[in-house]
């Protein structure tokens, strides 16, 4: 079991991430105000001290604690740390993202220091944006000076303020629709005081508005977390730690894209080259701004101008051809400003338009390029050449879509999120999208989609004049492929489908993977009745094990009627997500021949 301490935006993220595993977990908050849902979540409310947390963890056999509570809940963090030591349980801290503070902000280690500095600076009118629980901490200041406190519109918040003796007329209520600029205009303070509460706490908006208004800004720095906590900054890092620390909690492990691996290797090589720092693990920023740690297999500075680093690709439980292979980055000084990408051994070269990269460039996609450039420009302001290599890449590429995409000489360095989900539908759909975009770019007048090579061979014979890039495999992702065709603007789409997928699609399942949906005999029986099939056909449906046995329907007229119905239902479901194209649906029999054809107009 996993125990989450939440009550924050990060707590909600933690709950959603843990809930994906499909296993029960506990979610603890001090009060009942936060609305958070989870199919497998057991909600706990009320404060717990160190002894109570320890007892709870032992009683419920907690294997990991996730601390996603407010960064200023210092006593709770200490209680969690103590209980973790008592029970030998690891704590993962799901931390907020914190922006860099501008130089003119006055940083304070504590509220006591902030009071001293504000008095010393002659502040007589203050807008406090630090929350109800800090009214008592600022009491020595507001007893002597004009102070306005913004609080949440809750009875308990007002009661807390009045209990401390704070004047009710000096309270203002937080209005979600109200800008920070408006409250500054209405209160006209000399200064504001706020906590370093991170992006999810509205910190950026507060300081930007105050800076724009010329108001002095005092920031109370967040307290440090216990050193024993493992810190992550988002859902991907949290899941990866859970996979490592609680093996088997998730049925499948997540992994890293080649783009993330290349980014980590490039950063490690750059640090070795420029600062002679040789990291065994480095942090990189994902496209969603989460930072994750990546292990560096080896790093060396080969000479005064060059360094190289390697990362071994971990794709988790995704069937990725690059899993376990080395992603190498060589970084060298360049006389030209900026970051320049060069083709290394085993990385492909683009030869066709439509991939978002100029023809002739190494096949390093836009997202990985941006990730690498972001890390390297933060380290060095001059020019750098980056050469990405995958020693076995040329052989691996034969097992990918690259040859059809016109990428020659190796694999692509890809990844839109930086993370590989197990048996990643995202990775497969991204590959489909790239293929469809290439088909459009080379001028194919028709897109022909098939479930695989078995049907494609025969469908190609129907369209001999189309370029090879016009033929795309959809796997099980019929709906996603049709959406991509619609988005790309194809006016004519042909889809080859075999009976196993057709009977699922006819029922409305646009993802036909066997893990998502199985053949429904009751649906087939009803369809056969609507097609006026005889009892012999009904018996065949009752007794069959595989969909392909439908080809044994004994009466030819019934076979035609039944499959006409199946194909019509398939076309209806497809046309709803492909409204602006002519769809030709081709039902392929076991010999690879087109048994039934239906054209649906726009």
Range in 223-232, 300-309, 417-426 the model is least confident about = 417-426
Q: Residue 531 contacts by C-beta under 8 Å, 6 or more apart in sequence?
A: 558, 561, 562, 564, 565
pLDDT at 317: 83
Sheet of 125-128: strand order equals 106-108, 216-220, 191-195, 125-128, 146-151, 171-173
- Give the closest residue to 75 by CA, choosing from 30, 106, 25: 30
Kind of pairing between the strands at 492-498 and 447-450: parallel
| Mean pLDDT calculated for residue range 525-554 | 89
**pLDDT beyond 80 at 103:** no
Section 372-394 average pLDDT: 96
Residue recorded with tokens 């893990």: 515
pLDDT attached to residue 273: 96
pLDDT band at 424 (very low <50, low <70, confident <90, very high): low
DSSP-assigned letters across all residues of 179-223: -HHHHHHHH--SEEEEE---GGGTHHHHHHHHHHHT-EEEEEPPP
For the cut 70, the answer to whether the pLDDT of residue 425 exceeds it is no
| Mean pLDDT of the region 171-199 | 90
**What pLDDT, on a 0 to 100 scale, did the predictor assign at position 514?**
45
Q: CA-to-CA distance for 512 and 495, rounded, in angstroms?
A: 14
pLDDT tops 50 at residue 497: yes
Domains of the chain: 2-95+226-245 (3.40.50.720), 106-220 (3.40.50.1380), 255-420 (3.30.2110.10), 437-600 (no CATH)
* The dihedral sign for the CA sequence 490, 495, 501, 502: positive
Give yes or no for residue 178 having a pLDDT over 80.
Answer: yes
Instruction: Report the distance separating Cα 220 and Cα 236, nearest Å.
Output: 29
C-alpha 243/C-alpha 425 separation (Å) is 20
For residue 543, pLDDT over 90 is answered with: no
pLDDT at 602: 54
Question: What number is the average pLDDT over the span 161-167?
Answer: 94
DSSP assignment letter at 577: T
d(CA 357, CA 568): 40
Provide CB contacts within 8 A for 164, sequence distance 6+: 135, 136, 139
pLDDT at position 427 is 63
SS3 451: coil
- Write down the pLDDT at residue 318: 77
398-402, 405-409, 595-599, range with the lowest pLDDT: 595-599
pLDDT at 387: 97
What local confidence, expressed as pLDDT, does residue 517 receive? Answer: 64
Hey, CA dihedral for 460, 463, 466, 469, is it positive or negative? negative
Q: How much is the pLDDT for 453?
A: 63
Is residue 430 helix, strand or coil? helix
Reported confidence tier of residue 332, pLDDT bands at 50, 70, 90: very high
Looking at residue 127, what is its pLDDT?
95
How far apart, in Å, are the Cα atoms of 518 and each of 278, 509, 540, 546? 52, 10, 18, 10
Residue 474, CA distances (Å) to 10, 79, 430, 488 in order: 36, 52, 11, 15
Average pLDDT of the residues in 454-458: 72
Any residues with CB less than 8 A from the CB of 536 and at least 6 apart, and which? 554, 555
Q: How many CB atoms lie within 10 A of CB 357?
A: 19
The rounded distance, in Å, linking the Cα atoms of 82 and 63 is: 15
Task: Characterize the bridge pairing of strands 64-67 and 90-94.
Answer: parallel
Average pLDDT over residues 132-143: 94
Share of the chain above pLDDT 90, in %: 66
Mean pLDDT of 25-47: 88
Residue 598 pLDDT > 50, yes or no?
yes
Q: What is the mean pLDDT of the chain?
A: 90
Residue at token pair 């349980």 = 89
Whole-number CA gyration radius for the chain:
30
420: CB partners within 8 A, 6+ apart: 254, 255, 256, 257, 315, 316, 318, 320, 427
The pLDDT of residue 31 is 85
No. of H helices and E strands in the chain?
Answer: 20, 30
> Given pLDDT bands bounded at 50, 70 and 90, which one contains residue 40?
confident
CB 546 within 8 A of CB 521: no
Q: What is the mean pLDDT of residues 355-360?
A: 86
Confidence band of 108 (pLDDT split at 50, 70, 90): very high
Parallel, antiparallel or unpaired: strands 407-408 and 346-347: unpaired
Give the residue-averaged pLDDT of 36-43. Answer: 86
pLDDT number for residue 420: 84
Which residues, 6+ apart, have CB-to-CB distance to 303 below 8 Å? none
Per-residue pLDDT tens digits for 379-389:
999 999 999 99
Q: Is the pLDDT of residue 284 over 50?
A: yes
In the prediction, which pLDDT does 516 show?
Answer: 56
Give phi and psi for 65, each to the nearest 5. Answer: -110, 135
Q: Are 236 and 254 in contact (CB under 8 A)?
A: yes
What are the two backbone dihedrals, phi and then psi, of residue 585, each rounded to the nearest 5 degrees? -105, 125
CA 440 to chain centre: 28
- By DSSP bridging, strand 594-600 and strand 582-588 are antiparallel
**What's residue 477's pLDDT?**
87
- Taking residues 202-208, report their average pLDDT: 87
pLDDT for residue 515: 47
pLDDT confidence tier of residue 130, bands split at 50, 70 and 90: very high
Tens of pLDDT, residue by residue over 269-282, are 999 999 999 999 99
pLDDT recorded at residue 403: 84
Dig out the tokens for 350 from the structure. Answer: 């683009």
The mean-pLDDT minimum among 36-40, 73-77, 510-514, 527-531 falls in: 510-514
């Amino acid at each position: 079991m996993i125990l989450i301490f939440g009550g924050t935006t990060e707590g909600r993220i933690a709950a959603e991430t843990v809930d994906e595993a499909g296993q029960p977990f506990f979610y603890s908050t001090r009060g009942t105000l936060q609305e958070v849902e989870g199919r497998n979540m057991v909600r706990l409310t009320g404060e717990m001290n160190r002894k109570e947390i320890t007892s709870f963890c032992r009683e419920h056999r907690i294997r990991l604690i996730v601390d996603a509570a407010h960064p200023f809940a210092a006593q709770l963090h200490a209680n969690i740390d103590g209980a973790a030591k008592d029970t030998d349980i690891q704590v993962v801290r799901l931390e907020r993202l914190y922006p860099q503070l501008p130089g003119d902000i006055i940083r304070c280690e504590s509220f006591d220091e902030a009071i001293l500095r504000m008095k010393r600076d002659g502040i007589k009118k203050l807008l406090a944006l630090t929350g109800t629980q800090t009214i008592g901490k600022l009491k020595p200041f507001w007893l002597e000076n004009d102070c306005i406190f913004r609080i949440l519109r809750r009875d308990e918040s007002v009661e807390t303020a009045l209990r401390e003796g704070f004047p009710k007329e000096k309270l203002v209520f937080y209005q979600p629709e109200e800008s920070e600029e408006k409250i500054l205009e209405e209160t006209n303070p000399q200064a504001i005081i706020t906590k370093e509460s991170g992006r999810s706490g509205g910190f950026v908006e507060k300081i930007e508005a105050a800076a724009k208004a010329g108001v002095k800004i005092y920031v109370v720095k967040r307290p440090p977390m216990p050193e024993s906590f493992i810190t992550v900054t988002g859902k991907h890092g949290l899941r990866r730690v859970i996979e490592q620390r609680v093996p088997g909690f998730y049925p499948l492990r997540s992994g890293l894209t080649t783009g993330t691996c290349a980014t980590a290797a490039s950063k490690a090589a750059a640090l070795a080259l420029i600062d002679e720092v040789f990291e065994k693990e480095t942090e990189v920023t994902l496209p969603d701004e989460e930072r994750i740690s990546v292990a560096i297999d080896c790093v060396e500075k080969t000479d005064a101008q060059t360094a190289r680093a390697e990362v071994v690709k971990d794709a988790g439980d995704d069937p990725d051809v690059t899993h376990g292979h080395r992603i190498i980055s060589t970084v060298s000084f360049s006389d030209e400003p900026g970051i320049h990408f060069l083709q290394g051994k085993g990385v492909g070269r683009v030869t066709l338009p439509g991939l978002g990269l100029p023809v002739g460039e190494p096949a390093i996609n836009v997202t990985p390029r941006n990730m690498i450039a972001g890390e390297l420009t933060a380290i060095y302001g001059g020019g750098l050449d980056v050469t990405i290599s995958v020693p076995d890449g040329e052989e691996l590429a034969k097992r990918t879509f690259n040859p059809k995409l016109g990428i020659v000489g190796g694999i692509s360095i890809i990844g839109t999120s930086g993370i590989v989900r197990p048996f990643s539908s995202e990775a497969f759909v991204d590959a489909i999208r790239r293929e469809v975009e290439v088909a459009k770019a080379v001028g194919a007048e028709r897109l022909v989609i098939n479930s695989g090579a078995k049907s494609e061979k025969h469908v190609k014979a129907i369209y001999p004049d189309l370029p090879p890039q016009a033929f795309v495999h959809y796997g099980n992702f019929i709906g996603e492929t049709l959406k991509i065709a619609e988005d790309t603007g194809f006016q004519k789409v042909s889809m080859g489908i075999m009976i196993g997928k057709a009977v699922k699609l006819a029922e409305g399942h646009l993802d036909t993977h066997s893990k998502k949906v199985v053949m429904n005999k009751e649906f087939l029986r009803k369809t056969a009745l609507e097609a006026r099939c005889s009892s012999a056909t009904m018996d065949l449906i009752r007794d069959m094990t595989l969909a392909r046995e439908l080809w044994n329907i004994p009466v030819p007229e019934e076979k035609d009627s039944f499959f006409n119905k199946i194909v019509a239902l398939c076309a209806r479901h497809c046309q709803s997500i492909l409204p602006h194209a002519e769809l030709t649906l081709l039902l392929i029999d076991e010999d690879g021949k087109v048994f039934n054809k239906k054209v649906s107009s726009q």
